[in-house]
Structure 1
């Protein structure tokens, strides 16, 4: 018998000063048995930092033809293709063709992630952005995840401040082109 996904609930007070987005989010995340806490937290961070009308999680690591997070407009068109981790160049190529904007959030070494894309065909690859965090930030904060988590997430001047279940951390958000 296969093990099903574990549902995690995050209540997030979001203050994204850089984008002028302020909201209280109730986020339900289905964590696949093979999904690490690092990947799941990076998915939640990507969702919050990209939050806008029409944002939704896909099936996560189980999704083969969708990114971790998608943004649709009112017509159903894909506005943003948001990958997490270390997607291959083919996924970025597909996403960049389907969406107006393609971004990647990673908890891994961004130089190694980008190196895997070098020389590969990625539609509008120079427009694809790779976001990463300070070394150790996601690892440290992922240890505070519970089945029901409360968080305060603030982004200001390119820096993220996260309090997750009483554990606080902060990191710069490092952004570079995928190519």
Structure 2
């Protein structure tokens, strides 16, 4: 019998001083059985860093669907405006995404993130609409410790650092720019 996804609900209150965006969002996220708390919380952080007034940013089926990112923003015609990946995606997948979306953003995390980036950055040099961020290992592990089935997260962003607080604690995540879209 196949394992089912676990549903997580989060009230996210964003104060992003870098983008001058301040808003609250109630989101429901399905956590795939093979997904870790760390990946779930990185997805929620990515949502917080791209949330806006239009409220068109959406979680996709993620791991269950190979042709969809973790998050995306579609316009009214269904065209992909923003494609957001978390983890260490394959460079072919990213190049394909760059052809489908106006903007592609990757949040690389984990012990192997630096090695992954060293191995793919030259292959991705022609992708003009690609931005890549690195997240420190300890910071994403601290973020994972905040995971709960029902949570209220306050995300304050300033000078490239996100401070995330929840009832169970807090985490400070420096979002390191590795490559900026042209």
Asked if these proteins are the same fold (TM beyond 0.5), I'd say yes
Contact 2:60 2:69 in 1 (8 A): yes
Q: Structure 1 stretches of 5 or more lacking a match?
A: none
Q: Distance in 1 between matches of 2:85 and 2:38?
A: 14
For residue 9 of structure 1, what is the aligned residue in structure 2? Answer: 9
Distance in 1, matches of 2:74 and 2:90, equals: 22
Show the counterpart of 1:68.
70
Alpha-carbon deviation of 1:118? 4.3
Aligned to 2:148, the other structure's residue is in SS state coil
CA distance in 2: counterparts of 1:12 and 1:49, whole angstroms: 11
Does 1:113 pair with 2:116? yes
Q: Which residue of 1 aligns with 2:80?
A: 78
Deviations 1:64-97 (A, max 9, x none): 0111111111222110111110100011011100
Q: CA deviation digits over 1:117-145, x for unaligned, max 9?
A: 1453x484254111122330110121221
Cα RMSD (Å): 1.9
Question: How far apart, CA to CA, are the structure 2 residues paired with 1:28 and 1:123?
Answer: 35
Instruction: Give the 5 Å matches for 1:86-101.
Output: 86-101=88-103
- Once the two structures are superposed, residues 85-116 of structure 1 have per-residue CA deviations (whole angstroms, 9 ceiling, x without a partner) of 01000110111001111110122243222123
Q: Distance in 1 between matches of 2:94 and 2:60?
A: 16
Selected match of 2:143 from 141, 144, 149: 141
What do the CA deviations read for 1:40-62 (whole angstroms, capped 9, x no partner)?
A: 11111111101133111111211
The number of residues matched between the two structures is 178
2:178 equivalent in structure 1: 176
Determine if the alignment matches structure 1 residue 32 to structure 2 residue 32: yes
Give, in whole Å, the separation in 2 of the partners of 1:159 and 1:107: 15
After TM superposition, give the deviation of residue 158 of structure 1 in Å. 1.2
TM-score by length of 1: 0.91
Is 2:57 the counterpart of 1:58? Answer: no
Cα contact 1:117–1:178 (8 A) shared by 2:
no
